[in-house]
Structure 1
Amino acid sequence: MEIIIRGDKIEVTAAMKDYINEKLKRLEKYLENSDSVRANVVVKVKGHMQTVEITIPLHNFIIRSEETQDDFYASVDKAIDVIERQIRKNKTKIKAKEAKTRIDFSIVDIEEEEHEENNTIKHKKIEVKPMDEEEAILQLELLGHEFYLFKNVDTDKEAVVYKRKNGGYGIIEAE
């Protein structure tokens, strides 16, 4: 697994990188057929709180976790626990969709980026992937988001699946 670690308003030390690498290795048993898996890790600091965000895009899925604690190591532990739980919970679906690849652990350094805090709206461009409703719900759960945009393969239209307040899911489809 290629691990890309980036610090946001913090310098990620060698000890921090080693800890993240060691903890991510325990995911090997779930991704044993993975070859080109990349884990993106962002470490952020705001005040005395430290946030660790881990994103692992697989062939047809994105697994994501973000945890904030006052201790870096606790943030890493909780974020990886969440990812491990997501993988275990959806193991059959992930394995069915996962590309046949091999895991290769290495750490890649990326220079720390300067970010200014302001009140602008965050814009994101995403690739809308074709999938069925069940797969979109799985993506929604794996990412931990409230909604997920996808192209419905059954209707060939863009749609949004979202979590309803009463439990369950809803789908909004474009005309």
Structure 2
Amino acid sequence: MDITVKGRHIELSQALRDYAENKVGRVDKILENMIRGVEVELHAEKNPSIENNQVAEVTIHTKGHVIRAREAATDMFAAIDLVSEKLETQARKYKGKVVDRHNGNGRSRIPSPTPVDEFGAPEPGIVKIKSVELKPMSAEEAILQMEMLGHDFFVFAPAESEGVNVLYRRRDGDYGLIEPRVG
């Protein structure tokens, strides 16, 4: 498994690099040969009013999906511990759904949502532009991908039709699906 560890606004010691690789590497035992690459970014928030300013972010690229987790703590080693626990939970959930789907036990309807925290709305304005490759998938696969990324929406190409769909989490916790058409 290829693990890339990067540091931003911190001195990345060999001990810290080894610790991150060891903790995050445990996910490989859960996902076995499904992982294509892992990116670990460790950084310190510059704002002195943020108490938990040591942040660990991990992105795991699997065959067809991305699992992402972010945790913060007062100590970088603690942040790595927290993010690795979160990743292990997400990896088990992902593997269970993949195994169910391959064994014919996949759900035919959209699953019940997991509870999410409500965050305040960000300031208006475009602050980032992201280009993504759309892969054909079912709505159920899009929900799984959205949950693994920790997003409230997900743009995907539906496998059963042409075009682009947007899956989103509603305020009541259910999911909504937007199927745009030119009118």
TM-score normalised according to structure 2 size: 0.77
CA distance in 1, matches of 2:175, 2:69: 21
Query: Which AA in structure 2 matches 1:28?
Result: D
CA distance in 2, matches of 1:56, 1:140: 14
In the TM superposition, residue 94 of structure 1 has moved relative to its aligned partner by 3.2
Aligned counterpart, 1:135 = 141
CA distance in 2, matches of 1:125, 1:25: 28
In the TM superposition, residue 96 of structure 1 has moved relative to its aligned partner by 7.0
Alignment coverage as a number of residue pairs = 154
Are positions 1:67 and 2:71 aligned together? yes
Are positions 1:79 and 2:80 aligned together? no
CA distance in 2, matches of 1:17, 1:97: 36
In the TM superposition, residue 95 of structure 1 has moved relative to its aligned partner by 4.6
CA distance in 1, matches of 2:57, 2:25: 16
Identity of aligned residues (%): 37
Are positions 1:51 and 2:55 aligned together? yes
Whose radius of gyration is greater, 1 or 2?
Answer: 2
In the TM superposition, residue 25 of structure 1 has moved relative to its aligned partner by 2.5
Are positions 1:38 and 2:37 aligned together? yes
Deviates more, 1:53-62 or 1:154-163: 154-163
CA distance in 2, matches of 1:83, 1:157: 32
TM-score normalised according to structure 1 size: 0.80
After TM superposition, the runs of 4+ consecutive aligned structure 1 residues lying more than 6 A away are none
